[in-house]
Amino acid sequence: MRTTIMFSTLLSLSLGCRSENDVKANDGAVDATTGGDGEEEGEGEEEEDFSMYDGAELVILAPESGDYLPMDEDSEFEAVLFDADGQALPYDDIYWTSSIDMTWAQLGREFEDDGLEVGTHAITVTADLPNGDRLVYSVGGVLVQHPHAGIYTGAMNVGASIEYEGTPIGTSCIGGATIVVDAYGETATGESTCTIDLLGYAEFDLRHTFDFTVIDEELDGEATIALDIMGFDLPFSSQGEIQDGQIAANWLGSLLGFAEIDGNLNVERVTRSVELSD
């Protein structure tokens, strides 16, 4: 009996000590799902407000649709992000691409660049906004080519003089002319035709073809007369200049010893649009 009472007493003391230690351990523990003050994790953080981008619009200011950009010269590029009230937002993550030049890509709101390939481009800007919206804007018909390139039209004037039985005979003719300067500004080619009447002694067509090399503002090449009635061509050395959208050239020589030819060409650019050669 005495032994039983002692065992019970020891068991009670043991349980009492363990319970007290457990309480002390729990008092120092922090609930994994709460902070030290019992708040839910992340409850005190505020989400960033991107509402300023709601209803925003992305616009290209430069270049405009149909603009001409000189080849190998710096041109301005500018795009702006406007908020719903039409106020500009300071946003620079704007990506630029071209429809025909896959190697050209730019990043920014405003910059200068001379790297676009020759051709007619559609320029597109894209912006992925912080609110999750993606905006896209494009301008088309942006022409990049050499400043001299284009189609020129005007007149060819040819004077011819011969001497018949000691009597000088002179006449002239004027014909329309068309000259094309290629997109890279390297060549100028074209043709013209007029009919010369040597005061009733002879009448024949002078069909000219022009083939110039363009170096800066100088033209150097040939004005070739095609003599259809005789079946051959006769080239004349010709020089000229190209400046401010105008071409002037001249040539001088003898036509088979039969007549002295003095010709000149004056044409003006009517369009910049030319086809790219393959």
> Which of 20-24, 144-148, 246-250 has the least mean pLDDT?
20-24
> Domain residues of the chain, as ranges?
52-145, 150-271
Both structure tokens of 274: 């030319």
In this prediction, residue 202 carries a pLDDT of 64
Is this structure's pTM higher than 0.85? no
Backbone phi, psi, residue 60, to 5° = -90, 125
pLDDT over threshold 70, residue 15: no
User: How does pLDDT run across 96-115, given as a tens digit for each residue?
Assistant: 999 999 999 999 999 999 99
- Domain 150-271, what fold? Porin (2.40.160)
Q: Which residue has the higher pLDDT, 178 or 253?
A: 178
In this prediction, residue 195 carries a pLDDT of 86
Both structure tokens of 23: 């309480």
> Which of 51-60, 186-195, 249-258 has the least mean pLDDT?
249-258
User: How does pLDDT run across 67-86, given as a tens digit for each residue?
Assistant: 999 999 999 999 999 999 99
In this prediction, residue 22 carries a pLDDT of 44
3-state secondary structure of 105: strand
Q: Is 121 exposed, middle or buried (0-12, 13-18, 19+ CB in 10 A)?
A: buried
* Amino acid letter, residue 218: E
- Would residue 272 be called left, alpha or beta, if left means φ above 0 and alpha means ψ between -120 and 50 degrees? alpha
Domain covering 52-145 assigned CATH 2.60.40.10 in the classification? yes
106: which strand partners? 96
pLDDT over threshold 50, residue 23: no
User: How does pLDDT run across 195-237, given as a tens digit for each residue?
Assistant: 877 666 667 788 899 999 999 999 999 999 887 666 678 899 9
150-271 shares the fold of 52-145: no
Rounded to whole angstroms, how far apart are CA atoms 155 and 65?
A: 33
Tokens 């804007």 label which residue? 137
End-to-end CA distance of the chain: 118
* Omega of the bond leading into 63 within 30 degrees of 0 (cis): yes
pLDDT over threshold 50, residue 8: no
Contact 197, 203 (CB under 8 A): yes
Contact 268, 153 (CB under 8 A): yes
